[in-house]
Amino acid sequence: MHPRLSFLAQAPLLAAVVAASPGLVQCDRREVPAAATLGEPIGVRVDDVKDASGKKLGSLAGAFAVTKGQAAEPLVASMARVLDRVGKNCPSLFATKGEGAIHVIGKASKGVLDFGPGSSGENAEQRCFREAMQGQRISETPIDTAIAVELRPEMSP
């Protein structure tokens, strides 16, 4: 398993799929700073994501982890809001169902997400995912933390 994805091995909801299909996993090629050890991942699910016209697109299942020792639980509601925005801004993600998870690694500075510029190997879905989260506020408290986010879109039946 890729060392930057090892935090997912502790996420029961997503670990089996990641372990079973490592060739399908898309990774951000930037390195996490050595001092940024991630804590336990927390699952987030957003059901019934709709586009601007109100059409149901599907649901998003994901997980995120922040710097070890920092509380991630207070960020769940904000991360759900951010993922809902990702779904609305990136409807093409729902067409990738079953193609593996999408991952990004970055940081939050003063409570605002920063995933930096994309990598040369980034596909359109990864770019949209990263850009839709870029600059989103996840905390009113000015926290600074490393963050890794995984996303698995699920289409509506």
- Domain chopping of the chain, boundaries: 3-155
CB atoms within 10 A of CB 40: 13
Whether pLDDT at 132 is above 70: yes
Q: Which of 62, 28, 59 is nearest to 42 (CA)?
A: 62
Summarised one tens digit per residue, pLDDT across range 112-131 is 999 988 788 888 889 999 99
Instruction: Name the band, by pLDDT with cuts 50, 70 and 90, for residue 157.
Output: low
Structure token pair of residue 72: 């991630």
CA–CA dist 78, 144 (Å, integer): 15
Name the token pair of 12: 């029961």
Q: What percent of the chain has pLDDT over 70?
A: 73
Could you tell me if 37 and 17 are in contact, meaning their C-beta atoms sit under 8 angstroms apart? no
Q: Please, what is the average pLDDT of the chain?
A: 77
